[in-house]
Structure 1
Amino acid sequence: MELVPFTNEHLDAASSLLALRHRAHRAAHPLLPAAPEEPAEARRLLEALRKRPRTSGFAALQGGRLIGFALGTLRIDTTWGRSAWLFAPGHALAPGASPEVYRELYATLARQWVRAGCFAHVALLPASDRPAVETWSSLGFGHEQVHALRSLDAVVSPSGAPEQGVRLRRAGMEDLDRLLEVAGLVSEHQRESPVFAPYLPEFSEDWPQDYTELLQGEADRIWLAEQAGRLLGFAIFSPAEPTADDLLTPPESVSFTVGVTREEFRRRGIGRALFACGLEEARRMGFRSCIADWRSTNLTASRAWPRLGFTPALYRMTRRIDERVAWARGHFGATD
């Protein structure tokens, strides 16, 4: 096997491998978009990925034939700092190729990533591809995020009214201030064990504008649960907007972006009732499927969302390199 930099000459063969991988993925998850099963659409996705800034990768050749590839993107922002991502369209193996090919591709990519100061490494993998998930686990990657789908053919039963006096309704602009008062509940929940996701003050700076746009959006919906004038929880649904290199989002899908209930009112059916309202409205609006994602370590979400009909489609797996590797040389007095 030979590893060489990925170039335009590898695009046709890589597109075929990606189309085959997506065909197998869609056999396990029929809600996924069908178009990437065709090499022409797979090529468009690959070309879109290659246009992302700081994207490069390697092709694995055997006897001159492409048996695998991996394209990584360096990401530098306030959320992740300096990180490197293997997005869903950015990798595939030929049928029958050993998973060891992934290990070699990652080893070559990771050397460049660490040299660029990127110590957080992320891979988006089909949840149904157990050999790939196990291979990346063997490279030190762990489950961090679940991206899931469910059909709107069957509406979730609200299991009756949450309790007497609880009112469910769609939010309006007059509810903006009340929503902003509880908007941080999700971040506060995920700050705690076992998620430990940082809740930085700057995260909330854009909330007034974000919630205003949601309340004014033509197809966005925020559903509220309230009792005696107190807001108990809310759920947000928005049209799912696929990116240029998206393999997950089906046509006519809605995104379940936020679902939260005050801790003291959980386990009373409020969240399920809010979700049922949102899903029924989305179906009336013509949406056919729903997308959601959650942290694997968020115990509440990882138990509740599958019960609401969501099936994992993609796993976000991460590895964090000890940054001391950038300067540690293993003995005192080293200067090079």
Structure 2
Amino acid sequence: MTSTRESTTVELRPFGDDDVAPAGLLLAARHRAHVRSQPLLAASGTAGVSDADPTAGVTEASRAAAHVAELWTAAGVNGWAAEGGDGLCGYLIGMPRRGAAWGPNMWVEAAGHAVTSTDLVAPLYARASESWVADGIVAHYAVVPAHDRTVLDEWAALGFGGQHVHGIRSVDPGLDPVPASGVEVRRARSDDADALAELDLVPAEHQSRSPVFSAAPVPDRAELRAEWATGWADERYPTFVAVRDGVVVGATTCCLLVESSMHLGPARPDGAAFLGFAAVLPAHRGHGVARSLIAAVLDWSRRQGCSSLVIDWRSTNRESSRTWRALGFSETFRRLHRHVAY
């Protein structure tokens, strides 16, 4: 699907409503290749059954087309299509995301692009980004399958660098990390609000500094305390705390992935849980606190009937990268970023 080749005549034109269904076919084909590399994504709505099953292909394509249609009907969307002699051979759809931290932005989401040849990545992005930059939209993001080195290389050649990683792991109990001795993990309670507010600041403060340089503002401790005063009890987003020597030193919050706005389209496996927040006080790292918290989240995920647990982290947060990989998470997608200014 991603081999570089000399193209026959290809027409680049604006994406239109009639392109949604054929774009779904391209996305379904891309995702089938992805699933062969990462089977836990098999239930992401566009793949998961044998390529030889003709009815499965219809279902995959229709669900993939639904992902494309959802993007295409969003406000402020912009897209380009590549058409060859056999029909649509590539597309790219950009859509803006709200939030000052993203800058004047355009996002190419996981369902927002697919090509039959890597030769098409650059010309599709060139056509789309020309109008974006002309309109002052200089912060560009792309969510790209992590398994496909040739496509990642094409985006890198266009000036995109890594910013974020999506990961996944099985909840198979035989693969659980072993909880550490001396670390008690329990559900959060009302008297944990102060400790939870302190822990909530840990990743925010860390990521505001070098080498992450996150643009997200560091939240106010008092505001966090007020949120945790009731937030600890939300059953949709259960929070677990880790206790050492009677002191809360770590915490994590999880949920069913369907409750989250993250990991959309092909990046959203059916029956997955989502690890949305995790933090350990710096002085207590290296004692198995994170390992113990993840074991509790995996147990909760199984009790909800989930088959996988997904997560995401900043690729420039090297501590997170080492921790989550050591705890069994493997990459599924990479969020790439380019800021056009110089």
Which range, TM-score by smaller chain?
A: 0.7 to 0.9
1:17 to 22, 26, 30: 26
Q: Which residue of 2 aligns with 1:5?
A: 14
Q: Tell me, what secondary structure is at the counterpart of 1:16?
A: helix
1:238 to 239, 248, 255: 255
Determine if contact 1:3/1:60 at 8 Å carries over to the other structure. Answer: yes
What is the Cα deviation at residue 212 of structure 1?
5.3
What is the Cα deviation at residue 248 of structure 1?
1.3
Any unmatched runs of 5+ in structure 2?
1-9, 48-59
- Distance between the aligned counterparts of 2:307 and 2:218, measured in 1? 37
* Paired AA for residue 265 in structure 1: H
Q: Tell me, what secondary structure is at the counterpart of 2:111?
A: helix
Q: Which residue of 1 aligns with 2:190?
A: 173
Q: 1:15 to 1:206 in 2, by over 3 A?
A: farther
* TM-score, L = length of structure 1: 0.87
Residue 36, structure 1, aligned to residue 56, structure 2 = no
- Distance between the aligned counterparts of 1:205 and 1:67, measured in 2? 53
Q: Which residue of 1 aligns with 2:35?
A: 26
Determine if contact 1:18/1:89 at 8 Å carries over to the other structure. Answer: yes
Residue 184, structure 1, aligned to residue 194, structure 2 = no
What is the Cα deviation at residue 306 of structure 1?
1.0
Q: Which residue of 2 aligns with 1:217?
A: 234
Report % sequence identity: 32
Q: 1:93 to 1:266 in 2, by over 3 A?
A: same
Q: Tell me, what secondary structure is at the counterpart of 1:118?
A: coil
1:300 to 315, 319, 341: 319
Determine if contact 1:26/1:34 at 8 Å carries over to the other structure. Answer: no
Residue 273, structure 1, aligned to residue 292, structure 2 = yes
Q: 1:43 to 1:210 in 2, by over 3 A?
A: farther
- Distance between the aligned counterparts of 1:18 and 1:194, measured in 2? 34
* Paired AA for residue 46 in structure 2: P
1:7-62 per-position Cα deviation (integer Å, ceiling 9, x unaligned): 12222221111111111111111111253131111111111111211112111112
Q: 1:169 to 1:75 in 2, by over 3 A?
A: closer
Q: Tell me, what secondary structure is at the counterpart of 1:75?
A: coil
Structure 1 stretch displaced more, 84-93 or 70-79? 70-79
1:85 to 85, 107, 110: 107
Q: Which residue of 2 aligns with 1:329?
A: none
* Paired AA for residue 70 in structure 1: L
* TM-score, L = length of structure 2: 0.86
Q: Tell me, what secondary structure is at the counterpart of 1:74?
A: coil
Runs of 4 or more consecutive aligned structure 1 residues displaced over 4 Å after TM superposition:
201-206, 242-245
- Distance between the aligned counterparts of 2:207 and 2:222, measured in 1? 18
Q: Tell me, what secondary structure is at the counterpart of 1:257?
A: strand
Any unmatched runs of 5+ in structure 1?
325-336
Alignment size in residue pairs: 317
Structure 1 segment 1-336 matched on structure 2, within 5 A: 1-32=10-41, 33-37=43-47, 38-63=60-85, 65-94=87-116, 97=117, 99-154=118-173, 155-161=175-181, 163=182, 166-198=183-215, 200-201=217-218, 207=224, 211=228, 214-241=231-258, 246-322=265-341
- Distance between the aligned counterparts of 2:74 and 2:224, measured in 1? 27
Determine if contact 2:190/2:230 at 8 Å carries over to the other structure. Answer: no
Q: 1:280 to 1:180 in 2, by over 3 A?
A: same
- Distance between the aligned counterparts of 1:251 and 1:64, measured in 2? 33
What is the Cα deviation at residue 205 of structure 1?
8.1
What is the Cα deviation at residue 169 of structure 1?
1.5
- Distance between the aligned counterparts of 1:204 and 1:85, measured in 2? 31
What is the Cα deviation at residue 138 of structure 1?
0.5
